[in-house]
Amino acid sequence: MTELKTQPVLFEERPTANGARIGVARLNAEKTLNALSLEMIDLLAEQLAAWAADTDVALVVLEGAGEKAFSAGADLHMVHETMLAHHASAQRDDIRGNAYAAGFFGREYRLDYVIHTYPKPVLCWGHGIVMGGGVGLMSGASHRVVTHESRVAMPEITIGLYPDVGGSWLLARMPGATGLFLALTGARLQASDALFVGLADYCIGHERKPAVFDALAVQPWTRAENDNRRLLSGVLRTFAETELPHGPLRQHFDLINKLCGTGELKDIVAAITGLETKDAWLARAGATLAAGSPSTAALSYELQRRARHMSLADVFRMEFVAALHCARRPDFAEGIRALLIDKDQQPKWHPPTLAQVTPEWTEGFFASPWKPSEHPLADLGALS
């Protein structure tokens, strides 16, 4: 039993009344809020491939251990160590020089893409904290559940990265200017706002989860994906809450569109950070942007501009290159140091201000050392 508890991902198959099975994958790192490690990513990828090929598995469920989080994002400590080693090496100017970062981001993005294109229904129970890499897992699921305790965010501006895991694709397709606002501010979304921007499909009270699983166990599952999707949707609709109060993002939708429609990025940042408000959610959003990495702000803005008309596979390829440039440059390592290592909350960004982030600096995040056919994620489109 002790050995089982220490496994980073727990897998089980639950029988149903007609002989089909439900595959359940539980992220099992409760002490770190189920932060994603490379081992967890590899275990999930292997098991999802096995379930995809098993005709008796009707659907897959993703969930997190404990009551606090589905997943708070990636486990960044090893990424930080390898970045420091890369910065001090003779390969520091080559984004391919950090093999761990390339492996982590490449395999994480590949897993996320598999979930987006999975041949069976995937139910993600996004209870509690869902951030960064957790959003990457949840966003690809065909059926995404949030609860009243869910807090969904992509706060990468605080660590000098950017909303990756397909975030550029997701955010660029949100209503109005909400995607840009969320990327710049890392603002947290409650359940109703997650529904509003399309990061979730249903809000169900967490206490009803056992009843949902009981209902799933008696459905007439088939071997047809579309039939099973409809069955799963029907169960979730039965339990979903339809009357939810507007969250702060929906309440301030018109203001957010105004703030983010004031011209160039520098004008948008000035409008958000200069907003005089007594609203705690808006004030926190502005403060997070003011303290965040200027390079992240510029990169996130440009990524969303480019991603708007790109396929998901192409976005993952673009983000992979950008992520490795972030690992090579100073802000990502510095952001992790200030937040997770020294915990002094005093990052020293480079460049230190948005005015010093040149177009050439931002364009450098997109410089790929690979020909398109040689890109490590070149085959993603063939997976769907």
Q: Residue 79 is part of a domain; what is its CATH number?
A: 3.90.226.10
Q: Determine the average pLDDT of the residues in 132-147.
A: 98
Q: What confidence score (pLDDT) does residue 3 get? A: 52
pLDDT band at 6 (very low <50, low <70, confident <90, very high): confident
Query: Nearest Cα to 136, choosing from 44, 238, 29, 246?
Result: 44
pLDDT in tens, 168-222: 999 999 999 999 999 999 999 999 999 999 999 999 999 999 999 999 999 999 9
Q: What confidence score (pLDDT) does residue 12 get? A: 98
Task: Say whether pLDDT at 4 is over 70.
Answer: no
pLDDT in tens, 39-71: 999 999 999 999 999 999 999 999 999 999 999
pLDDT band at 37 (very low <50, low <70, confident <90, very high): very high
| Separation CA 45–CA 50 (nearest Å) | 9
322 in Cβ contact with 183 (< 8 Å): no
Question: How big is the CA angle at 309 (ends 305 and 313), to the nearest 5 degrees?
Answer: 105
The conformation of residue 341, written as its DSSP 8-state character, comes to: I
Long-range contacts of 115-118 (CB under 8 A, 24+ apart): 115/48, 115/62, 115/140, 115/141, 116/140, 116/166, 116/312, 116/384, 117/383, 117/384, 118/48, 118/52, 118/60, 118/142
Share of the chain above pLDDT 70, in %: 98
| Separation CA 136–CA 125 (nearest Å) | 13
Q: What confidence score (pLDDT) does residue 2 get? A: 46
Query: Nearest Cα to 59, choosing from 145, 144, 121?
Result: 121
pLDDT in tens, 314-333: 999 999 999 999 999 999 99
| Separation CA 89–CA 93 (nearest Å) | 9
Q: Determine the average pLDDT of the residues in 101-111.
A: 98
Q: Determine the average pLDDT of the residues in 82-111.
A: 98
pLDDT in tens, 250-266: 999 999 999 998 789 99
* Location of structure tokens 């982030």: 357
Pull the structure tokens for residue 58.
């009707």
Split into its structural domains, the chain has a count of 1
The conformation of residue 366, written as its DSSP 8-state character, comes to: G
Pull the structure tokens for residue 139.
């966003």
Question: How confident is the prediction for the chain on average, in pLDDT?
Answer: 96
For residue 101, give its domain range.
2-383
pLDDT in tens, 276-304: 999 999 999 999 999 999 999 999 999 99
